[in-house]
Amino acid sequence: MHATPTLHAEAPAPVQAPLAPREQEVLRHIAAGRTYAQTARRMGVSPHTVDAYLRRVRVKSGLTSTAELMRLAIALGL
């Protein structure tokens, strides 16, 4: 009988600098499955601004993939 390996998701790396409220808002929308365009409409900004906020989140957190950003959003309670 073979044991099934258990996968343990590592906690996201701590954020190097606190996220601004708008960065948190963008992260929450993206984690909810919204597109850049949908997020932009809800926030009253352009999709380019949404992209800029997410780039800042990536720099501050050191994360690169969308999956890692989703884990960060969950860890932050967004």
* 31-63 pLDDT tens trace: 999 999 999 999 999 999 999 999 999 999 998
- Residue 15's pLDDT is what? 58
Provide CB contacts within 8 A for 8, sequence distance 6+. Answer: none
Global pTM reads 0.73
pLDDT tier at 66 (50, 70, 90 boundaries)?
confident
Rounded CA-CA distance 35/78 in Å is: 16
For residue 75, pLDDT over 70 is answered with yes
Could you give the CA distance from residue 62 to residue 78 in angstroms, rounded to a whole number? 18
